[in-house]
Amino acid sequence: MTTIGFLGLGRMGAPMAGNLIGWVANGHGRLLVHDVSPAAVDALNAKGAEAAGSAAALGERCEIVFMSLPTPAIVRAAAEEVVSGGRPRILCDLSTSGPKLAQELHDLCAPKGVASFDAPVSGGIRGAEQGTLAIMAGGPQALWPELEPLLQRLGKPFYMGETPGAGQVTKLANNLLSLAAIATTAEAMTLGIKAGLDPARMIEVLNAGTGANSATRDKWPRAVLPRTFDFGFSAQLSLKDTRLALDEAQALGVPLPTGERLAALLDRVLAAYGDDADFTEMAKVVEADAGLDPARII
Identity of the residue numbered 255: P
Torsion 83-86-87-93 (CA) sign: negative
Which CA distances in Å does 271 have to 64, 183, 191, 276, 285?
40, 17, 24, 11, 10
Q: What are the φ and ψ backbone dihedral angles of 200, each rounded to 5 degrees?
A: -65, -40
**What does the DSSP assignment read for the chain?**
-EEEEEE--STTHHHHHHHHHHHHHTTSEEEEEE-S-HHHHHHHHTTT-EE-SSHHHHHHH-SEEEE--SSHHHHHHHHHHHHHT---SEEEE-S---HHHHHHHHHHHGGGT-EEEE--EESHHHHHHHT-EEEEEES-GGGHHHHHHHHTTTEEEEEEESSTTHHHHHHHHHHHHHHHHHHHHHHHHHHHHHTT--HHHHHHHHHHSTT--HIIIIIIIIIITTT---SS-BHHHHHHHHHHHHHHHHHHT---HHHHHHHHHHHHHHHHH-TT-BGGGHHHHHHHHTT--GGG--
Closest Cα to residue 11, out of 68, 66, 52, 92?
68
Q: Which of 47, 112, 156, 171 is catalytic?
A: 171
Q: Determine the Cα–Cα distance for residues 15 and 150; give it in Å rounded to an integer.
A: 14
> Does 171 participate in catalysis according to the annotation?
yes
The residues pairing with 64 across neighbouring beta strands, listed in sequence order, are: 4, 90
pLDDT of residue 148: 97
Q: Model's pTM, two decimal places?
A: 0.93
pLDDT of residue 251: 96
Closest Cα to residue 134, out of 143, 142, 124?
124
pLDDT of residue 139: 98
Q: Determine the Cα–Cα distance for residues 189 and 171; give it in Å rounded to an integer.
A: 27
Query: Considering the domain 2-163, what is its CATH architecture?
Result: 3-Layer(aba) Sandwich (3.40)
Q: Which CATH code of 3.10.129.10, 1.10.2020.10, 3.40.190.10, 1.10.1040.10 fits the domain covering 169-296?
A: 1.10.1040.10
The angle at the Cα of 242, spanning 236 to 244, to the nearest 5 degrees, equals 105
Q: With a cut of 70, list the residues of the chain below it in pLDDT.
A: 25, 298
Torsion 105-147-124-24 (CA) sign: negative
pLDDT of residue 296: 81
The contacts of residue 212 (CB under 8 Å, 6+ apart) are 206
Closest Cα to residue 161, out of 177, 144, 145, 146?
144
Look at strands 50-51 and 29-34 and give their pairing: parallel
Domain ranges of the chain: 2-163, 169-296
